[in-house]
């Protein structure tokens, strides 16, 4: 379930071509279980109609501080008191300048000024031309808005409606939604650095063939996302998978187990938590041919011999920071039976404080799973749920341990 479910958000639109993305954002918020009250400036109405936003939010839109629908004629007070947050998307350069100075000449800025600042956070998604964004005036305003406690989201980079290319685009609706989800999540790992491995590894036999496994990487990616939502800075070392990078997560793509070990060792010193979800190939071909091994028609098959791959988790867990507990190491075990016994044995063998067991054939490629958390004090089941929900529970569990 979304952390936004049940929230009431005032979605403010100021004038900008990015207002078309606000329609999508409104829809996504409603889908996430949010009640959305749209407020638009006059400039916003040049880009998007109030009818569209009313239809998408299911509520009449407010566009004027003189709206007679409010019995006390104080829309700015009434609307801001009900909100869990005010989100202004798009926030134009002009609107941000106005916020900075406490301007209040129309409903949206008036409402932002009138909100109880300790109870109703204000989140703005800037949207403008790259020159406007890079202008020292705008950058100064952004810095001051942040200093005033306003949450200024990042801007996107790329093609702009004006035909130029650069910084200043408004984030996409799904990116804003993701940032809002993170905003409303408990910040249980704030200030912590989390390192996650995910996916399979690929061990080359020759330039076109290799051995790998069926790990989809979904659990590890869900854990990386959950850690970021909990406020951690997250590095995700991913084997070859086709999954989108969770927002705000630094991703390092690798192929083989040895590359994965190198990447993990590079980032482990800065980490507070290491979560090894990758299904690392146990063995790799002893020799990887430089050229494709050709079938010669004789019926003869190539001789393949294997050597064992380094155990990444055990290596890190036995490093000085891992062994002292300064780096909290978490392993995974994919088993087919006797989960508790195997997970308990594996936790001790790997030398980690927490081992997460799951049934391999039931989880590979699936969107849901069930976990068994095994530590020194015993075992705890996280019953069948989506991998994302389990990841959030696992991160909360880890946060309590460290």
Which residues are paired to 329 by β-bridges?
274
- Name the nearest CA neighbour of 392 among 238, 182, 192: 182
State the nearest-atom distance from the C-beta of 21 to ligand C5P, in Å.
Answer: 38
State the nearest-atom distance from the C-beta of 129 to ligand C5P, in Å.
Answer: 46
Q: In terms of CB distance, is 185 or 277 closer to ligand C5P?
A: 277
368-375/378-386 β-pairing: antiparallel
Do you know the residue count of the chain? Answer: 402
* Distance set, CA 102 to CA 13, 43, 54, 95, 109 (Å): 17, 18, 28, 10, 8
CA 327 to chain CA centroid, nearest Å: 22
The torsion region of residue 356 among left (phi > 0), alpha (psi -120 to 50) and beta comes to beta
* Distance set, CA 35 to CA 87, 105, 372 (Å): 13, 26, 36
Burial 27-52 (b: 16+ CB within 10 A, else e): ebbbebebbbbbbbbebbbebbebeb
Pairwise CA distance, residues 223 & 26, whole Å: 27
Which residues in this chain contact ligand C5P in the complex, by CB under 6 A?
Answer: 197, 257, 276-278, 280, 309, 311-313, 331-333
Q: In terms of CB distance, is 143 or 362 closer to ligand C5P?
A: 362
Q: How many CA atoms, within 13 angstroms, populate the side-chain half-sphere of residue 114?
A: 19
26, 112, 162, 329: which is the annotated catalytic residue?
A: 162
Q: In terms of CB distance, is 106 or 311 closer to ligand C5P?
A: 311
State the nearest-atom distance from the C-beta of 83 to ligand C5P, in Å.
Answer: 43
State the virtual CA torsion across 245, 246, 251, 256 in degrees, nearest 10: -60
Q: In terms of CB distance, is 65 or 358 closer to ligand C5P?
A: 358
Per the CB < 8 A criterion, the answer to whether 28 and 173 are in contact is: yes
State the nearest-atom distance from the C-beta of 180 to ligand C5P, in Å.
Answer: 32
Pairwise CA distance, residues 51 & 57, whole Å: 10
Q: In terms of CB distance, is 24 or 335 closer to ligand C5P?
A: 335
State the nearest-atom distance from the C-beta of 24 to ligand C5P, in Å.
Answer: 37
Q: In terms of CB distance, is 48 or 219 closer to ligand C5P?
A: 219
Q: In terms of CB distance, is 44 or 343 closer to ligand C5P?
A: 343
Clarify whether 26 is annotated catalytic: no
Non-local CB neighbours of 20 within 8 Å, separated by 6+ positions: 47, 48
State the nearest-atom distance from the C-beta of 346 to ligand C5P, in Å.
Answer: 6
State the nearest-atom distance from the C-beta of 330 to ligand C5P, in Å.
Answer: 8
State the nearest-atom distance from the C-beta of 196 to ligand C5P, in Å.
Answer: 10
Per the CB < 8 A criterion, the answer to whether 230 and 185 are in contact is: yes
CB atoms within 10 A of CB 173: 20
Residue 268, H or E segment: helix 257-268
Per the CB < 8 A criterion, the answer to whether 399 and 223 are in contact is: no
Q: In terms of CB distance, is 41 or 277 closer to ligand C5P?
A: 277
User: SS3 helix, strand, coil % of the chain, rounded to 5?
Assistant: 35, 25, 40
**Residues forming the active site:** 162
């Amino acid at each position: 379930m979304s952390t936004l479910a049940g929230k009431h958000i005032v979605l403010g639109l100021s004038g900008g071509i990015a207002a078309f993305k606000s329609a999508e954002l409104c829809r996504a918020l409603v889908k996430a279980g949010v009640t959305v009250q749209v407020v638009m400036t006059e400039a916003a109405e040049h880009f998007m109609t109030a009818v569209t936003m009313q239809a998408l939010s299911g509520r009449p839109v407010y566009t004027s501080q003189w709206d007679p629908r409010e019995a006390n004629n104080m829309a700015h007070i009434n609307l801001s008191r009900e909100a869990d947050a005010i989100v202004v998307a798009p926030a134009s350069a002009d609107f941000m300048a106005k916020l900075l100075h406490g301007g209040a000449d129309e409903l949206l800025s008036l409402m932002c000024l009138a909100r109880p600042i300790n109870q109703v956070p204000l989140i703005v998604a800037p949207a403008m031309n790259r020159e406007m964004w890079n202008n020292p005036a705008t950058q100064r305003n952004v810095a001051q808005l942040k200093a005033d406690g306003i949450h200024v989201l990042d801007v996107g980079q790329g093609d702009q409606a004006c035909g130029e290319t650069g910084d200043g685009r408004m984030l996409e609706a799904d990116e804003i939604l993701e940032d809002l989800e993170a905003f409303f999540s408990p910040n249980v790992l704030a200030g912590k650095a989390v390192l996650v491995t995910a996916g399979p590894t690929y061990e080359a036999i020759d330039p076109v063939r290799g051995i790998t496994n069926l790990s989809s990487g979904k659990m590890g990616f869900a854990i990386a996302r959950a850690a970021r939502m909990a406020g951690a800075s997250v590095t995700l070392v991913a084997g070859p998978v086709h999954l989108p990078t969770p927002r705000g997560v630094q991703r390092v793509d690798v192929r083989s187990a040895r590359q994965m070990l190198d990447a993990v060792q590079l980032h482990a010193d800065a980490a507070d938590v290491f979560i090894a979800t990758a299904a690392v190939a146990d063995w790799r071909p002893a020799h990887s041919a430089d050229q494709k091994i050709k079938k010669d028609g004789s019926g003869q098959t190539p001789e393949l011999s294997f050597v064992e791959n380094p155990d990444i988790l055990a290596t890190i867990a036995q490093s000085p920071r891992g062994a002292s507990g300064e780096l909290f190491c978490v392993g995974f075990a994919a088993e087919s039976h006797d989960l508790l016994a195997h997970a308990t044995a594996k936790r001790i063998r790997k030398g980690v404080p927490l081992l997460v067991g799951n049934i391999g054939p039931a989880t590979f490629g699936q969107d849901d799973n069930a976990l068994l958390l095994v530590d020194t004090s015993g075992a705890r089941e996280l019953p069948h749920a989506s991998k994302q929900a389990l990841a959030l529970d696992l991160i909360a569990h880890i946060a309590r341990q460290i």
